[in-house]
Structure 1
Amino acid sequence: MIPTLILFGLLLGRWWRTSLIVAAVGWPLLLVAGDGTTVGPALIGASGLAVANTAVGVLVHQGILRMIRATRS
């Protein structure tokens, strides 16, 4: 599922704050809803990993936007 979070960051990188918050909250909720056995510190780690992977996608998206803007001007 990690490439999915990078893709999520790539697609929603324009709204980077929102995408990082959704990743931080949504991924642990998805884990709990999926099997329900993950609790405690594991959820904090999962949240951090989700934000890190989404941030990679956001950074790529923002980099592409900056290259396009530099090319246009």
Structure 2
Amino acid sequence: MVRVPGTADRAPDPVERDSVADAPNRTWVADFTHVAAWGRTVYVAFVVDTFSRSILGWSAATTKHTELVLAAVEIGL
């Protein structure tokens, strides 16, 4: 595990990705998850700048189609 001061332990990265940029807007990562809300599932996508760890864009939908992540990326642009 990698220990970053002020954060929880991170899971090991078996492919050894270098996902921390040395300047803003050099490396973005995207992820999506699901949340149970009002008896149904809502999917939420996020785009994060790895330098600042800021959320640049996000999107939510009731389906997990490509447009969910693309909307988050477009907001980040």
Structure number with the bigger relative contact order (C-alpha 8 A, sep ≥ 6) is 1
TM over 0.5: no
User: Hey, which of these two has a bigger chunk of helix by percent?
Assistant: 1
TM-score relative to the length of structure 2 = 0.23
TM-score relative to the length of structure 1 = 0.24
User: Hey, which of these two has a bigger chunk of strand by percent?
Assistant: 2
